[in-house]
Amino acid sequence: MSERLQPGDTAPDFTLPDADGNEVSLASHKGRKVIVYFYPAALTPGCTKQACDFTDNLELLADAGYDVIGVSPDKPEKLAKFREKENLKVTLVGDPDKSVLTAYGAFGEKKLYGKVVTGVIRSTVVVDEEGKVERALYNVKATGHVAKIIKDLGI
């Protein structure tokens, strides 16, 4: 089980392929705040709801100085299908080897329908302009999460 990040930690840098196979890195967002959210799988109901909520609020978040990156263990081809099917505007990147998910504490043991399983822990990490963790939220709910972030960030 990986360690969970705490406010003040340096956010682990990453470079992952997006839905088009282009590399997206956290370092390229320096000078902007970034909301990095981790979700279990593209094209599933909860993850679709969450991605649509981020897409619906992308302009509001961008105007407040935030970029949004969604990370899942999916391959770029599946992310492209997800983006097209749901008309998503949020940047989606794939982490098939789960190294970034692990580095962010978003992969490990969790409870699913009362059973302990190993998998993606739905999480959101807000990274400031200098690459430091501003907030780290784990075991978040797919529904209502984006509204809570907006409220918590005072947007």
- Scanning the chain, the segments in alpha helix (DSSP H) are 45-56, 58-63, 76-86, 99-103, 145-152
How many DSSP H helices and E strands does the chain contain?
5, 9
Q: Is 47 a catalytic residue?
A: yes
Distances (CA, A) of 144 to 9, 18, 54, 57, 88: 26, 25, 10, 12, 17
Report pTM: 0.94
Between CA 74 and CA 25 the distance in angstroms is 17
Which amino acid would we find at residue 2? S
Task: Give residue 111's pLDDT.
Answer: 80
Per-residue pLDDT tens digits for 10-19:
999 999 999 9
User: Of 26, 34, 36, 47, which residue is the catalytic one?
Assistant: 47
Question: Over pLDDT 70: what percentage of the chain?
Answer: 99
